[in-house]
Amino acid sequence: MRRGICCVYVCVTLALTASYDAQAQSKKKGKEPELAISKRGKLIFEDDFSGKELLWNFDANRCKWEIVKKAALTKSKGTSGDTKIERAYTQTSDVIFEFKTLLPLSGDLSLFYAAAIRDTPWAKIFVTPSPQSAIYVVEADEQHKALVLSPLVYRKPRWLNVTFEVLGSRYALTVDGTTTVCDFPASGRRQATFFAVGMNKKSDDVFAIDDVKVWEALPKDEEPEKDKKTKK
């Protein structure tokens, strides 16, 4: 019985690896992305998935996530709630999320970060299938009214840099170098205690994330405490 389970696991892992290798471009480590409305303070959490164990939460009855080639990925189908993968961290109100994602050519990616209304996305990235081959960065308010912003060329799966900044009553979403800055609804102020991503997937194409970082967000004119020099 154990031998059968091991064989199934190996087959699934090999399938994920083959699909991932065929679609993903090589990941190049570079300087940290520029921010639109804030500056980085304390590093709260980071995960580059270089370990063997996936220390994130997901519903194993709905989807399957694994670490393959030092990235977290899934081929499971479902809604963004079905495929969501989540990680809790120290509570904060002003926060910066940075990560890389590899998306299929259809579906949409949702970002989740609040504990007060756990499954309400504050930002989405809609990916349209060919022949349009574009990504539309949108915002979503509490009524889920999406506003189409700048289209981004996405003709084949590749790694995208995503940065989501929350500072006071504003947020900024940057995808592949394109940024939009929006204001929160008056009732939208909340403490952030976790970060999660999920995707509406109709196919078994790979959806992956990597190099996740969560920072304390500071106003651009404020220095982190650790960087201040004491004058004598």
Q: What's the confidence (pLDDT) of residue 110?
A: 84
Those residues whose C-beta lies under 8 Å from the C-beta of residue 149, and which sit 6 or more positions away, are: 136, 137, 138, 139, 178, 180
* C-alpha–C-alpha distance, residues 215 and 181, integer Å: 18
Average pLDDT of the chain is 77
Q: What's the confidence (pLDDT) of residue 39?
A: 96
78 phi-psi bin (left φ>0, alpha ψ -120 to 50, beta other): left
Q: What's the confidence (pLDDT) of residue 117?
A: 47
**Structure confidence at residue 229 as a pLDDT band (50, 70, 90):** very low
pLDDT at 76 over 90: yes
Cβ pair 224, 127 in contact under 8 A: no
Q: What is the pLDDT of residues 15-29, one digit of tens each?
A: 455 455 545 444 445
More reliable by pLDDT, 19 or 126: 126
Q: What is the pLDDT of residues 29-60, one digit of tens each?
A: 556 778 999 999 999 999 999 998 999 999 99
Tokens standing for 178? 């394109």
49 phi-psi bin (left φ>0, alpha ψ -120 to 50, beta other): left
